Chains A and B, each alone.
Chain A
Amino acid sequence: MLFNSVQFALFLPIVFLGYWVVTKINRKAQNFLLIVASYIFYAWWDWRFLGLIAFSTGVDFVVGQRIYVHLDDRKKAKAWLLLSVVANLGLLGFFKYYNFFVDSLVDSLQVLGYSVKSKYTLSIILPVGISFYTFQTLSYSFDIYYRRLKPTTNFVAFAAFVSFFPQLVAGPIERASNLLLQIERPRKFQYTQAADGLKLILWGLFKKLVIADSLAPMVDDIFANYGTYPSSTLILGVVMFSFQVYGDFSGYSDIAIGTAKLFGIELMSNFRFPHFSRNVAEYWQRWHVSLSTWFRHYLYIPLGGSRVSKQRAVFNILVVFLVSGLWHGSNWTFVFWGGFHALLFIPVFLLKRNRIYMDSVIGQNTYLPSLKETGQVLLTFGLVTFSRIFFRSPNLADAFAYIRGIFTDFQMEWYTHPLGYRMVDYYILMLLFVVYEYRIRKNERSPFHFKSPFVRFVLYVLAIFGILLFYDDGINRSFIYFQF
């Protein structure tokens, strides 16, 4: 079930009302209702994969308790942790990476001169959200192993934690220390929280339907026919893709966080205006925060983090970015994308500038950003956008050909879409979006934070009006990150 579907528009109010009515009768039933709703939500896409969620839930519930029992016996605790890792990554590996590794092995053997045909690949459907919920359950076992968390004895609460529908299929990837603890406690309805939730849902829908979906046809066209376009169009294509992927994924996260608020649950922020970052390190503190912190907590720090020799720390950074790239998809393009980001991050790390923007945003105390900040933001945006050529291209050959097109055929030409879309509408839209995001840059959880109720009302109307103006029923409305 997509957040931007009619089914969800019907499903959400029904579950919302049912949830709070049930709360009045029996608070303990809240979690049971959440599980039922979450399983229906997931089954709407494909019920056959519910078993995987149930399996992951069962394994980590048991493993969590066993690790806790053996906390003082690190060998046994590690063995149980390994079971969780093998089970979750095994699922992920089989469904997501099996064909990729087989094909890559075959390619490697062919390079070495062995004639091998790739007949071992399987027709596997990638279960939606598998990368997200497996990482979420893994974090639970890790946290217990690292003594950050006590295991829950409440199986219903744990199952609700794993399958919580707002963030089940595309995150934010929650930690048990945040989500599970909230789920274990009964929730009370709070007007402000629910109202904030609706506002976030509206803003998320705007980003998805207006920004991401309306730019999708241009991006698709330019990336599909990059060989026929001049460099200016290729640059436009990848810039538009930056807007699209941001609108799509951050829109999804906003809807997820907003929906969770309706149920009295606070999810972690996933996007904090990443395109206003002043260097790549800041970008990774703002883009897909739940994933980057996951890798920091469960891969980078266990590898030694930065409290090791410089060479080792650089190696750790490289590993994290490569694995992060691979997490996104079973394609070498993502590995390259991750590697490229590592190359951007490492100099920032070596210059000790990776933590300088932890607590501030551009224009922290001023209305407009300084010239220096503007330059930094444009440079960071440019580099990050450039990396997205790998992210968007179907294979490495296309990615490099696209890059070659940018640098070897330098021409300025107005882009016209084959269907004749009025492009000026989209340029104005992107500009207004940047201006508005800058205006709200200090609080990603409150996109309509204005004192005047009239101004707020006007903004709600304009957001919905924007959705009407850019609605296109011919567009595939799925979310980009569902494929991961």
Chain B
Amino acid sequence: MKKFIFKTVIYFGLILMALELLVRAFHLHADDPPKMIDEFGVEKRVPGSTGHYVKGNRRQNFTHFSINNSGFNSYRQFNPSESKYEVALVGDSFIEGFHQNFDNSLGKKIERLLPELEVYEYGYTGSTMAYQMHLVNAYQEEFRNIDKIILYMKFKNDFDTHEHEANYELIRTLNTLPFRIRKNCKLWVYGSNYGMTMPIKNIASAIWKGFIFLRGKGNLEVAIPEMEATSVTDRIENFKKLIATYGLDTQKTVLLLDSRVTDNQFLDFCKENGITYLDFSEAFQKALDPVTLIYDMHWNDYGRELLAESIADYLQREIDR
């Protein structure tokens, strides 16, 4: 019995090591460039980071990313000047674009259609409208020379707050030893990307709760704040407050949205307040093939192509005007 348990443990350890090697050898894990918060309170990636983003257990989507000197995933450096026509594309993971090769991004596609343009992609995973407006405000010196600002928004996700708060605690936590170990264990990274580690996390969480229960002698109740679904009017109110806090240059800012998933009240609010929006729903509705990736819902190459055409058409009209 002792021999059995001993050998099982040894085999288990060796198998884990072999799997770690295989995951690394085939680069099945997604790299996650380190995060930072700059002196303006803007969360972004550490400049100079490079790596691969992987989606699908069997590397069905394998892309390169490269973080530029400004801390965003882009093939170009951001050097706005008065002499050129620059466009800032601000948004979340859809704009950050780890799911595509950094040199074939949405911005690059727009530049191909309008070669006289330079497109700066300020994308950061999980960013909300508060983040985006804070960023534009914080980098106002830089943005002064930018001719057009496109804010990509999803109405249901991006208007839950009326103020941006940089999450210093998260950045600190990610730099602690356990998280650094976790990040370097590629087998774990790979497993957690596809939900394989979720059961282990659940067990650990249950054990931790049990531990707290025993220590607290029956005090198992942990206060979990109830998440209330923010209503349409709440979201619009948040947007108003964001405008009041960070300002919104309606002359050069345009919201990029899909009207199929945006409430009409919000669209009316934009119209009433002279806020321009660019609706790409029609282009997607007419699409002949799927516009999103298989293993996540980010835009695929075809989707980005359609979107680039919509944005380029709009920008061409603006330039002509």
Contact = CB atoms under 8 A, between A and B. Distances in A.
B250 interface: no
Interface residues of A, number: 25
Contacts of A6: 199-200, 202-203
A472 B60 CA distance: 14
A256 B198 CA distance: 25
A422 B60 contact: yes
A195 B89 CA distance: 59
A198 B3 CA distance: 14
Interface string B4-38: 10011001001100110011000000000000000
B22 A465 contact: yes
A20 B3 CA distance: 14
13 contacts: A20-B1, A198-B8, A457-B11, A461-B22, A465-B19, A465-B22, A468-B23, A468-B191, A469-B58, A470-B58, A471-B194, A471-B195, A473-B196
Interface of A: 6, 9-10, 20, 189, 191, 194-195, 198, 419-422, 425, 457, 460-461, 464-465, 468-473
Contacts of A461: 15, 18-19, 22
Contacts of A189: 1, 4
Interface residues of B, number: 28
B57 A469 contact: yes
B194 A473 contact: yes
A468 B4 contact: no
A460 B18 CA distance: 10
A469 B58 CA distance: 6
A194 B11 CA distance: 14
Contact of A194 (B4, B194, B200, B203): B4
Contact of B14 (A195, A457, A473): A457
Interface of B: 1, 3-4, 7-8, 11, 14-15, 18-19, 22-23, 56-58, 60, 190-191, 194-196, 198-200, 202-203, 290, 294
A34 B200 CA distance: 26
Contacts of B200: 6
B57 A470 contact: yes
A201 to B, nearest CB: 12
Nearest to A10: B203
Contact of A420 (B23, B195, B202, B294): B294
Nearest to A192: B4
Given A465-B19, A468-B19, A468-B196, 8 more contacts: A194-B4, A420-B290, A421-B294, A457-B11, A464-B15, A471-B57, A471-B194, A472-B57
B282 to A, nearest CB: 23
Contacts of A194: 4
Nearest to A474: B195
A448 to B, nearest CB: 12
Contact of B4 (A191, A419, A472): A191
